[in-house]
């Protein structure tokens, strides 16, 4: 089953040149994954594959660790994965959040992003 992960990066950069450079660094970090940039700056949608939700949660945690550390996970894990970190390893990113609904059962908890 496919997991749809919604990422929101808060950019520390102020100038348009610095923002473009930061977006490029984010895209390079996401290169190993299937991803799409959303309509809003700093938002991305990543697709991961998992046979079940427990393994999917492990993959989400592993993916989060690739992006940064000290992630705070909140909400009901049975329904979805909602995490935030202000210690992202990508230069120019102040913080990041990620959300993924449990595609195996949960009711919708995610905002709608337009790609």
Is residue 15 included in any domain, yes or no? yes
For the domain that residue 6 is a member of, what is the CATH number?
Answer: 3.30.70
Sequence-distant (6+) residues with CB within 8 A of 82 are 73, 74, 75, 97, 98, 99, 109
Domain that holds residue 26: 2-101
Is residue 53 included in any domain, yes or no? yes
pLDDT recorded at residue 112 = 58
- Grouping H, G, I as helix, E, B as strand and the rest as coil, residue 57 is helix
Is residue 113 included in any domain, yes or no? no
Sequence-distant (6+) residues with CB within 8 A of 56 are 1, 3, 48, 50, 81, 100, 102, 103, 104
Is residue 12 included in any domain, yes or no? yes
How far does Cα 79 stand from its chain's mean position?
A: 17
Query: Using one digit for the tens of pLDDT, what is the confidence trace for 101-111?
Result: 999 874 555 55
Q: How many structural domains does the chain have?
A: 1
Is residue 115 included in any domain, yes or no? no
Query: Using one digit for the tens of pLDDT, what is the confidence trace for 6-51?
Result: 999 999 988 999 999 999 999 999 999 989 988 678 999 999 999 9
């Amino acid at each position: 089953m496919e997991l749809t992960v919604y990422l929101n990066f808060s950019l520390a950069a102020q100038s348009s040149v610095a923002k473009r450079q930061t977006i490029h660094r984010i895209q390079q970090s996401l290169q190993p994954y299937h991803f799409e940039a959303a309509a809003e700056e700093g938002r991305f949608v990543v697709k991961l594959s998992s046979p079940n939700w427990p393994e999917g949660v492990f993959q989400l945690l592993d993916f989060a660790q690739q992006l940064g550390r000290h992630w705070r996970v909140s909400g009901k894990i049975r329904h979805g994965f909602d995490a935030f970190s202000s210690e992202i390893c990508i230069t120019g990113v102040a913080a990041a959040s990620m959300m993924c609904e449990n595609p195996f059962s949960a009711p919708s908890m995610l905002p709608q992003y337009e790609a």
